[in-house]
Amino acid sequence: METKLRFGMVGGGNGGNIGNSHRRGALMDSLAVLTAGSFTRDGERNRRDGERWGVPADRIYSDYAAMAEEEGRRPDGIDFVSIVTPNASHYPVAKCFLAHGINVVCEKPFTLSVPEAEELRRLAAEKNLEICVTYTYAHYPIMRECRHLVESGRIGRIIDIVAEYPQDWMILGLSKDADNFTKWIGDPATSGNSNVTAAMGVNLNYLITAMTGLELESVLAHFGYYPEDAPLETTARIFLRYKGGAGGLAWTSNVAIGHDCTIDLKLYGDKGSIRWSHEDPTRLTVSYLGGPVEILAANRDYLDEWSREASRLPAGHPEGFYEAFANIYREFCRHLLDKKNGAAGQSGDYFYPKARDGVDGVRFVHACVRSQQTGNAWTNVADG
């Protein structure tokens, strides 16, 4: 029985935050070994990073295409690749690895356009490969309890959703170097047709989907711009309509001074409600009609067993962003290992963001942009 996978990375050199999160997340549970990589275009650094992380010299590649080809050919080639390159290159890199039969983990946003996203999804399906898109925030351990409570009907039918994600990094950056910053924000080669909706709004969209299972039907978006002549939106206010009738609201901004990385999710059902804040990521606030507010903490005995399985430490010992990342990788690796061992699906579903979630995210962004462009009209996400 296989118990360990080999993986490679494209990007992630020089100790950037995202690369570190992927590498540490993938390694945390000893289910995968970093075996190959093309970490950066700077050859010397590429070699040094690979060496530091224990990658054999002959599997440090100067080029992702060469890596995909060689690793796809070797009998002991990598099982999956983690793509942490700039957004615009997600599509070609992912396509290349899929073409060589290698599973893919990809940073969000999945791609810049819907057809690209659809194509990758189709390609993976044809080749029986798996794609994971790393929306992180739904994968803190306690979030499983949120999903469990919704699924089990404890809060009843969902009637209202409020999701918010303010940060201030953009206005902080602007205050330091407005010219460069604004140009960078406005460069479609870097950011596509959306700034904050693509970078942050997609996280809200996935968070809601992952917690509720609801299917988004249409959006009505009202964008804000700072500075006023910013080429792309810095604030997005979005009305949401779900199949089955639930309505909702999303707000995200990267010019909201005072917010490090606040994410608030509020789900209102007709029997109860659930609230979660990224400022206190290990706890869940739950209310049932007529009862007191309850605060649930990760890994306490009173949680569902499936929820507790996501924790690595006893209650009260905080698990953070890396552990949320590791939860995604653990489920993805479990999926690949089960497939290798001919046991896929026997242990139920795998809880990680899949190709479909990547596609949905791109659709969501495009629908919001179109709504804004058409005078804030309701826009079907299927047309996104």
Could you say which residues in the range 28-67 bind its own copies, by CB under 8 A? 28, 30, 33, 52-54
Assess contact for 109 and 362: CB atoms under 8 A. yes
Does residue 4 come out as left (phi exceeding 0), alpha (psi in the -120 to 50 range) or beta? beta
Binding marks (x or -) toward its own copies, 307..346, rule CB under 8 A? -----xxxxxxxxxxxx-----------------------
Q: How many CB atoms are located within 10 Å of the residue 302 CB? A: 11
Q: Which of 111, 167, 193, 379 binds its own copies (CB under 8 A)?
A: 167
CB of 359 to its own copies, least distance (A): 26
Residues 252-281 interacting with its own copies (rule: CB under 8 A)? 253, 255-262, 266, 268-273, 275, 278-281
Residues 139-158 interacting with its own copies (rule: CB under 8 A)? 155
CB of 379 to its own copies, least distance (A): 12
Q: Which of 66, 125, 178, 295 binds its own copies (CB under 8 A)?
A: 295
Q: Is 235 in the site for its own copies (CB under 8 A)?
A: yes
Rounded Cα gap, residues 5 and 334, in angstroms? 10
Q: Is 306 in the site for its own copies (CB under 8 A)?
A: no
Q: Is 171 in the site for its own copies (CB under 8 A)?
A: yes
Q: Is 164 in the site for its own copies (CB under 8 A)?
A: yes
Residues 208-227 interacting with its own copies (rule: CB under 8 A)? 220, 222, 224, 226
Q: Which of 66, 125, 178, 293 binds its own copies (CB under 8 A)?
A: 293
Rounded Cα gap, residues 91 and 89, in angstroms? 5
Q: Which is nearer to its own copies, 16 or 92 (CB)?
A: 16
CB of 44 to its own copies, least distance (A): 15
Q: Which is nearer to its own copies, 190 or 285 (CB)?
A: 285
